[in-house]
Amino acid sequence: MWEGSGNNYAYLVVDEKSKDAVIIDPANPSEVLPVLKKQVDSGDIKLTNIINTHHHHDHAGGNSEMLKHYKLPIIGGRDCSKVTKTPKHGETFTIGDSIKVKALHTPCHTQDSICYLFEDGNDKAVFTGDTLFIGGCGRFFEGTAEEMHKALNETLAALPDDTKVYPGHEYTKGNVKFGIKIMQTEPIKKLEAFANSNKETQGKFTIGDEKLHNVFMRVDDPEVQKAVGKSKPVDVMAALREMKNAS
């Protein structure tokens, strides 16, 4: 959504068997509703929920308008507009017959940030909102370096390495431009090449990849520590964010 300005992603996730579906962060209804209407009217999907990753307007700001068209419960962070359910950290729910979803609280960008791990058989995907981007992370608007370190390097890093990452924005080009100044490793050079030749990067990289090419998930790396002049992981996180903000 808002291509060229916010480069936001909204995601439609469908359980193929039951046709049950959820829409994640449908913040710009004028772009989202025509797609949904076509699929709902044709019987391809049965929309069951709106899911929000956090309360910011460019993620949850479409909720009121969406509800005019689809009277659905909204699962999201406690501060999201019109939210009906805020799952606890680690709480699970299902979509249709086969998709299991686990809510992971990742406060920092906002205090109500929630990432959602989706599992269907062996397939795993995590929708990270503005907590984790491909090659980067969100600004610490409502939190601290400590909280982001925990969110990225404890909560999300603990997910299986083959979990695909679906962030809230397409920011990879900017992230890698910053990251490559900090470390010049093969994984980050590969990411740079991919970002330069592909407009979209969502779902193309995994948690395992992020641990290799995302400087914010390499706060223990001597090369990263040297680049920022800090050695404690939380201090490295804080310094990286400050440098990125200024870049």
- pLDDT given for residue 3 in this prediction: 94
Structural domains of the chain ordered from first start: 1-121 (3.60.15.10)
The question of whether 55 is a catalytic residue gets the answer no
- pLDDT given for residue 98 in this prediction: 95
* DSSP result, the chain: --TTTT-B--EEEE-TTT-EEEEE----HHHHHHHHHHHHHTTS-EEEEEE-S-S-HHHHTTHHHHHHH----EE--TTSTT--B-PPTT-EEEETTTEEEEEEE--SSSTT-EEEEEEETTEEEEEEETTEETTEE---SSS-HHHHHHIIIIIITTS-TT-EEEESB--HHHHHHHHHHH---HHHHHHHHHHHH-S--TTSSBHHHHHHH-GGG-TT-HHHHHHHT--SHHHHHHHHHHHHHH-
- pLDDT given for residue 135 in this prediction: 98
- pLDDT given for residue 24 in this prediction: 98
The question of whether 56 is a catalytic residue gets the answer yes
- pLDDT given for residue 84 in this prediction: 97
- pLDDT given for residue 219 in this prediction: 98
Q: Which of 55, 105, 149, 169 is catalytic?
A: 169
- pLDDT given for residue 108 in this prediction: 98
Q: Which residues of the chain have pLDDT under 70?
A: none
- pLDDT given for residue 240 in this prediction: 98
Residue 122 CA to residue 106 CA, distance in Å, equals 24
The question of whether 25 is a catalytic residue gets the answer no
The question of whether 59 is a catalytic residue gets the answer yes
Residue whose structure tokens are 């980050």: 188
pLDDT per residue as tens digits for the range 161-204:
999 999 999 999 999 999 999 999 999 999 999 999 999 999 99
Residue 209 CA to residue 216 CA, distance in Å, equals 12
Q: Which of 15, 20, 56, 120 is catalytic?
A: 56
The question of whether 58 is a catalytic residue gets the answer yes
The question of whether 169 is a catalytic residue gets the answer yes
